[in-house]
Amino acid sequence: MKVIILAAGLGSRLGELGKNLPKGMITIFGKTLIERQIEIFHNCGINDITIITGHNSEVIKYTNVDYIKNPNYATTNMNESLFCAKQKFDDSILVSYADIIFEQQTIEQILRFRQDVGVAINLDWKKNYKNRTQHSLSEAENVLIENYKVVRLRKNITECLPNQKIGEFLGIIKLSKKGAMYFLEKYLKLKNSHKGVFHSSPSFQKAYLTDMLQEIVDSKIIVDPIITKGLWMEIDTTEDLKRAENLLKN
């Protein structure tokens, strides 16, 4: 099992903090977000960890971790950052956004997943947007589930049928070795051939991870929801940071 942490992005909504630090290097009670993740992965027996850097990459410094820089981080998005580490796609992989906080039990739940492509999801997600004025409910990366399978991934899914459920994507996916191969083969094909809009993004180069997952779904490859419970937070704004400090303190 390998871990890839996506930490190349700009923290534009974190004000002065985002100008000088990648979001994953924000510190809460003496530990950065990335440091918290690394500690949990080690506790779960995962030591092959790669961090994809970009914005202010020189400030991310941890021992026994591999680093790969997305040289085009300012003009591309998460999907391109992920495949900067395409040489790592020879084993099962856990992919994580760098700007999230989660408990060890969340990763333990995800590691028990045994299918090829799984996305971590919270079904009780709307409560996390209560009084969250700087990051509205409509900006959530949603997942539509039907018959226990993922059928759609994009922001702001608001309607579903009686046999469907809407969850929030937690920014963590788990791929078996076969699942990693699916992803890599699809990426290499699209990299050389795709033109124009790519799902919810203006181009393949600017695709989010959810766009790539939707492509996998549309290719008739089964994507399973991994329903998780436990503390999870995204740090996208200064308001999120204060909320995280209060929750962790209590």
Instruction: Name all domains of the chain by residue range, CATH numbers in brackets.
Output: 2-249 (3.90.550.10)
Query: Which residues make Cβ contacts (< 8 Å) with residue 167, sequence separation at least 6?
Result: 121, 122, 123, 125, 142, 143, 145, 225, 227
The whole-chain average pLDDT of the chain stands at 95
Confidence (pLDDT) at 118: 98
Q: What would the two tokens of residue 119 be?
A: 């996305």
CA dihedral 42, 46, 34, 49 (to 10 degrees): 130
Helix (H) or strand (E) holding 49: strand 48-53
Confidence (pLDDT) at 130: 87
Confidence (pLDDT) at 21: 85
CA dihedral 233, 238, 244, 249 (to 10 degrees): 170
Paired strand residues for 172: 96
Q: What's the Cα-to-Cα distance from 145 to each of 118, 173, 209, rounded to whole Å? A: 12, 15, 17
Rounded to an integer, the average pLDDT of 159-177 is: 98
Res. 5: pLDDT tops 80: yes
Rounded to an integer, the average pLDDT of 185-203 is: 97
3-state SS, one letter per residue, for 98-145: CCEEECHHHHHHHHCCCCCEEEEEECCCHHHHCCCCCCCHHHCEEEEE
Looking at per-residue pLDDT, the higher value among 180 and 128 belongs to 180
The pTM of this model reads 0.96
Name the pLDDT band for 131 (thresholds 50, 70, 90). Answer: confident
Q: What would the two tokens of residue 38 be?
A: 């690394």
Res. 247: pLDDT tops 90: no
Confidence (pLDDT) at 9: 83
Confidence (pLDDT) at 123: 97
Chain segment 7-63, per-residue pLDDT in tens: 998 777 777 776 778 999 999 999 999 999 999 999 999 999 999 999 899 999 999
DSSP state for residue 25 in the 8-state scheme: G
Rounded to an integer, the average pLDDT of 198-207 is: 97
Rounded to an integer, the average pLDDT of 163-171 is: 98
- Calpha distance 246→193 (Å, rounded): 47
